[in-house]
A = this chain, B = another copy of it.
Amino acid sequence: MVAVLKPGTKKQQIDNLSVWFKSRGLDVHISEGKTHTIIGLIGDTSKIDVELLEAIDIIESVKGISDPFKSANRKFHPDDTVVEIGDIKIGGGNFQFIAGPCSVESPEQILGIAKRVKAAGAALLRGGAFKPRTSPYDFQGLQADGIDLLLEAKAQTGMPIVSEIMNMNHLPLFEHIDIVQVGARNMQNFDLLKELGKTKKPVLLKRGLANTLKELLMSAEYIMAGGNSNVVLCERGIRTFETYTRNTLDLSAIPMLHELTHLPVVIDPSHATGMAKLVRPMALAAAAAGADGLMVEVHNDPANALCDGAQSLTPDQFDEVAAKVKAIIEVLKQ
A216 to B250, CA, bound (A): 20
Which A residues, 241 to 257, have Cβ-Cβ distances below 8 Å to chain B?
Answer: 241-245, 248-256
Q: What B residues does A273 contact at CB under 8 A?
A: 252
Q: How many A residues have CB within 8 A of the partner chain?
A: 106
State which of B66, B168, B221, B308 has its C-beta within 8 Å of the C-beta of A35. Answer: B66
Question: How many copies of this chain?
Answer: 4
Residue of B nearest to A211 (CB): B241
A287 to B327, CA, bound (A): 14
Q: What B residues does A209 contact at CB under 8 A?
A: 210
Residue of B nearest to A258 (CB): B281
Interface string of A220-259 (1 = CB under 8 A from B): 0110010000000000001111111100111111111001
Query: Taking the complex as formed, is A200 at the interface, i.e. its CB lies under 8 A from any CB of chain B?
Result: no
A65 to B43, CA, bound (A): 22
Q: What B residues does A85 contact at CB under 8 A?
A: none
Residue of B nearest to A45 (CB): B33
Query: Taking the complex as formed, is A161 at the interface, i.e. its CB lies under 8 A from any CB of chain B?
Result: no
Q: Is A218 a contact partner of B52 (Cβ separation < 8 A)?
A: no
- The interface residues of chain A, by DSSP majority, are classed as mixed
Q: What B residues does A240 contact at CB under 8 A?
A: 238, 240, 248, 250
Q: Is B137 a contact partner of A51 (Cβ separation < 8 A)?
A: no
Q: Is B290 a contact partner of A288 (Cβ separation < 8 A)?
A: no
Q: How distant is A21 from chain B, measured CB to nearest CB, in Å?
A: 13
Extra contacts besides A46-B137, A134-B218, A244-B260 (17): CB < 8 Å? A2-B4, A2-B38, A33-B43, A33-B65, A34-B42, A35-B66, A36-B65, A55-B275, A61-B65, A134-B188, A210-B239, A251-B251, A252-B281, A255-B277, A284-B288, A285-B289, A328-B328
